Amino acid sequence: MSYNSEVIPYVRSVLGKIDQALLSKEEWFVFPSDSSDGRTNSQQGEHQVAEYLLSYPTLFELLVNKDAKKKAKDEDNRAFGDIGIDIRRFGYEKSFPCNIKIISESNKCGNNACGLTNLIGYTFNKKCSSHDNVIEILIDVDKSGYDNYVPLLYGLIMVQKENKKCWIGTFDEVPEKYIGTNPSNPLQVPFLTDRVSRTNKEYITLLIKKIVEYHTKKSRPLAMWNSYQMSKISAQ
């Protein structure tokens, strides 16, 4: 089965049904706010959205609960994503991963889109457990040529906390200007209102650009220290 011509169109159709399911909710979610840790509140809210979608009539048997204790033997409980889209009909045993993000209207900053090692390992179907692995994989991709890879995509289900608004799509549809990087969280995105279309090569190029940008920022303190040490040697 062709990933680009068959799997992705099907995934986008299911993502469209997810969008309809969320917007059809008569009363919006009442998301948790009890914890002083915003991340804890968000995680509980993500579970709330996942349960709603998994039980929605038009999505029945289309989605996979990746957090369930009792899972199909081919599903990894530590797998990438909060819920998955079942794509076994196309010969893929593992589901198409989707990350759920609960974003407050007042939050204009970026939100961590995904774990970097998980993203790169999944995207290129390679073992990846460290940032060294990330760069090694990207070097291999660059050596082989971007046209030789079909990157596996993943979904984003963004739900606004206070209002009945959502953005449902795949990460390759996120406009570049909205993908931020900082030393703490490699790839961050705010609540989105628009999207773009990219080829496989354009998506790979974007990922590499953003990951290099992240590591450049992360290594800046060391670069400053090394520059200082070099200045001392030069002054001798």
Place of tokens 């199909």: 72
- Per-residue tokens: 26: 């008569």
**Paired strand residues for 156:** 99, 169
Contact 98, 177 (CB under 8 A): no
Give pLDDT tens digits for 142-197: 999 999 999 999 999 999 999 999 999 999 999 999 999 988 889 999 999 999 99
Of 79, 64, 62, nearest in space to 114 by CA: 79
Coil/strand/helix, residue 94: coil
Note whether 164 and 23 are within 8 A (CB): yes
Parse the chain into domains and list their residue ranges: 3-115+152-199
Q: For residue 80, what pLDDT band results from cuts at 50, 70 and 90?
A: confident
Position 48 pLDDT exceeds 90: yes
What pLDDT band is residue 73 in, cutting at 50, 70 and 90?
very low
- Looking at the chain, how many residues does it have? 236
- Maximal C-alpha separation, the chain: 75
pLDDT-derived band at 132 (thresholds 50, 70, 90) equals: very high
Tell which wins on pLDDT, 32 or 11.
Answer: 11
